Amino acid sequence: MEKKWWHQSVVYQIYPKSFNDSNGDGIGDLQGITDKLDYLKELGIDVIWLSPVYQSPMKDNGYDISDYHDMAPEFGCMKNMEELISKAKDRNIKIIMDLVVNHTSDKHLWFKEAKKSKDSPYRDYYIWRSGGADGSPPNDLKSAFGGSAWEYDETTEQYYAHLFAKEQPDLNWENPKVRDEIHKMMNWWLDKGISGFRMDVIDLIGKEIDRKITTNGPHLHKYIKEMNEATFGKYDVLTVGETWSATPEIAKTYSNQDRQELSMIFQFEHITVDWDEVHSKWLPKDLDFIKLKKVLNKWQTKLGNEGWNALFWNNHDLPRVVSKRGNVQEYRVESAKMLATLLHFMKGTPYIYQGEEIGMTNVKFENLGDYDDIEIYGFYREKIKEGFTQKKIMEAIWENGRDNARTPMQWSEEKNAGFTEGSPWIKVNPNYKEINVAKALQDESSIFYHYQKLIKLRRQMEVIVYGSFNLICEESPNIFAYTRTLGKDRLLVINNFFEQRVNFILPKEIKYDTCKPIISNYSDASYLPDYMTLRPYESVVYLLT
Ligand code: TEU
Ligand code: CA
């Protein structure tokens, strides 16, 4: 496997609407991001993944794009974007853009034209079908946000397909003109100096809608290969596909260097491990910890030299990990650091989602009206229809709703957490006086400095990047421990995943001459790993030689 710059990098995801508002309109913006570059430099990250900043009616906060070549005016203008790219570059920070091309907004010029008549030159940019004899939709495919995946259009008396909201019509990737337009647009952005793309639901673009095949469709890899050849293959960039349906075998088809497709993908098996078959994420089962270990172990060991992992706990669609898997009552700091260490010492490229580095938590709004997310409202409507109680639905939203990740970034204990001078588009988490960046920067034992140290260590130690992974204590119901080995260097990573104290006994086959703890989440970590009692969420990493 050829070494790449992005093997060594740490990526930071920004959700622009919620990051930092520079002009007091209550909405985060590009200038606001530029203003915080020094903060990100201090954290030490190498790459920013910007969630969509393109022109958009914002039905899905920018994942519904109406113009790929211009910025959303609430975020700023092209000059702000160019300045962000160049000021980031001055600090050695690269920018990757969100590429949302499974669908556009219904307000995109292509769709507005396509709707006008069956003869429109843009008609075949989208997926149109006639209904059944009784007027019913072409088939029973469902939208991810609730209801049918087909919307009837009066003008031409046909349905169009939308796997997400009806305002997000799916592009017809079978049309070579569509692929060509997308390639041109991607090259236009690459020429502006961006360093890659995060590809939204890219596993859907090879779909065959009539056969109800959506993920991993027969044309998928042909389209990705073609895209690589026509666009980013000529540049030294990072590409990461969002692929909810990936298994390790599938991951290799994307990220094996010999195949010339993508750098890596986001897989979600460690996220969906507790999802319920019927209600997916909304009414999860209890976590099966052994299963979680098995899943991550599988991903760590199966790719070998034929692929590369993306490592993450959080993104803009997921609840905050410290709320989900940690303990926000008594052990917020300890558990946030443990989760960070566990992830950052695995093999792959780590992604940090804004606010994760200060241990931001889920939010609990009592009124449905305080939520904004289109998915939350779709879920609410559907479950009311199914007869669920209001209480049950609200609890599901508190635990798993996407707005948990989208409350404003908590910068300080000032008004609106220092996010805006005006009134924020979504309420700030009331815990901002306790949890904020200013406070974290003043406290050398904060979660922030733990992340900073993890990033520094990755840069200093090749074993973190390339060492082989070996899970130990597999059967332990409490401990998540593993080793990483490269040449003479071996890392021993020990994490108590829970609150109960538990004994760790070093497996006999692990021998060492010298031993040095390199990072931990209690100030007085043990100096020898041979036998110890792990405290709540205790996490410690040793370098053994
Ligand atoms: O998400 C893909 C997706 O499948 C989500 O609906 C996901 O299942 C859900 O959010 C899990 O909580 C991507 C984007 O990341 C998301 O923000 C967009 O809404 C969606 O695509 C449509 O573009
Ligand atoms: Ca603003």
pLDDT band at 422 (very low <50, low <70, confident <90, very high): very high
pLDDT band at 199 (very low <50, low <70, confident <90, very high): very high
pLDDT band at 179 (very low <50, low <70, confident <90, very high): very high
Ligand 1 center–CA 190 separation, angstroms: 24
Is residue 244 lining ligand 1, measured as CB closer than 6 Å? yes
Element (H, E) at 53: none
**Mean pLDDT computed over 381-391:** 96
Contacts for 497 with CB less than 8 Å, ≥ 6 apart:
289, 325, 338, 342, 478, 479, 480, 537
pLDDT band at 511 (very low <50, low <70, confident <90, very high): very high
**Mean pLDDT computed over 99-118:** 98
Is residue 317 lining ligand 1, measured as CB closer than 6 Å? yes
Q: Does 465-544 match 109-161 at the fold level?
A: no
Q: Where are the chain's structural domains?
A: 7-97+309-449, 109-161, 465-544
Give, rounded to a whole angstrom, the gap between the first and last alpha carbons of the chain. 25
| pLDDT at residue 527 is higher than 90 | no
Is residue 398 lining ligand 1, measured as CB closer than 6 Å? no
Ligand 1 center–CA 293 separation, angstroms: 25
| pLDDT at residue 180 is higher than 90 | yes
191 catalytic per annotation: no
pLDDT at position 144, please? 95
Is residue 402 lining ligand 1, measured as CB closer than 6 Å? yes
Distances (CA, A) of 476 to 272, 347, 423, 479, 536: 21, 22, 48, 6, 15
pLDDT tens digits for 271-323?
999 999 888 899 999 999 999 999 999 999 999 999 999 999 999 999 999 99
Residue nearest to atom 14 of ligand 1 (CA): 200
**Six token digits for residue 431:** 């815990």
Distance CA 475, CA 97 (A): 41
Partners of residue 159 on adjacent β-strands: 129, 152
| pLDDT at residue 203 is higher than 90 | yes
| Pocket-testing residue among 17, 145, 313, 317, ligand 1, by greatest number of atoms within 8 A of Cβ | 317
At residue 16, the 3 state secondary structure works out as helix
| pLDDT at residue 159 is higher than 90 | yes
At residue 14, the 3 state secondary structure works out as strand
**Mean pLDDT computed over 511-538:** 95
**Mean pLDDT over each residue of the chain, to the nearest integer:** 97
- Report the CATH number of the 109-161 domain: 3.90.400.10
Counting ligands in written order, the one closest to the CA of 425 is: 2
pLDDT at position 525, please? 87
pLDDT tens digits for 437-486?
999 999 999 999 999 999 999 999 999 999 999 999 999 999 999 999 99
Ligand 1 center–CA 518 separation, angstroms: 37
Distance CA 15, CA 404 (A): 12
Contacts for 532 with CB less than 8 Å, ≥ 6 apart:
503, 504, 526
Partners of residue 542 on adjacent β-strands: 492, 517
Q: Which amino acid is at 191?
A: D
pLDDT at position 279, please? 82
pLDDT at position 278, please? 84
Is residue 203 lining ligand 1, measured as CB closer than 6 Å? no
Is residue 275 lining ligand 1, measured as CB closer than 6 Å? no
> Tell me, which fold does domain 7-97+309-449 have in CATH?
TIM Barrel (3.20.20)
Percent of the chain with pLDDT over 70: 100
**Set 98, 200, 317, 357: catalytic member:** 200
pTM value? 0.98
Burial environment of residue 503 by CB neighbours within 10 A (0 to 12, 13 to 18, 19 or more): exposed
276 catalytic per annotation: no
Phi, psi torsion values for 210, nearest 5 degrees: -70, -30
465-544 CATH choice from 3.40.50.80, 1.20.1250.20, 2.60.40.1180, 3.50.50.60: 2.60.40.1180
| Pocket-testing residue among 97, 198, 201, 406, ligand 1, by greatest number of atoms within 8 A of Cβ | 201
pLDDT at position 526, please? 85
pLDDT at position 277, please? 87
* Helix segments in 308-364, DSSP class H: 321-324, 332-344
pLDDT band at 170 (very low <50, low <70, confident <90, very high): very high
**Set 21, 74, 242, 261: catalytic member:** 242
pLDDT tens digits for 223-250?
999 999 999 999 999 999 999 999 999 9
Closest atom of ligand 1 to 164 CA is 22
The position carrying tokens 């200060």 is 358
Contacts for 186 with CB less than 8 Å, ≥ 6 apart:
99, 197, 227, 230, 231, 232
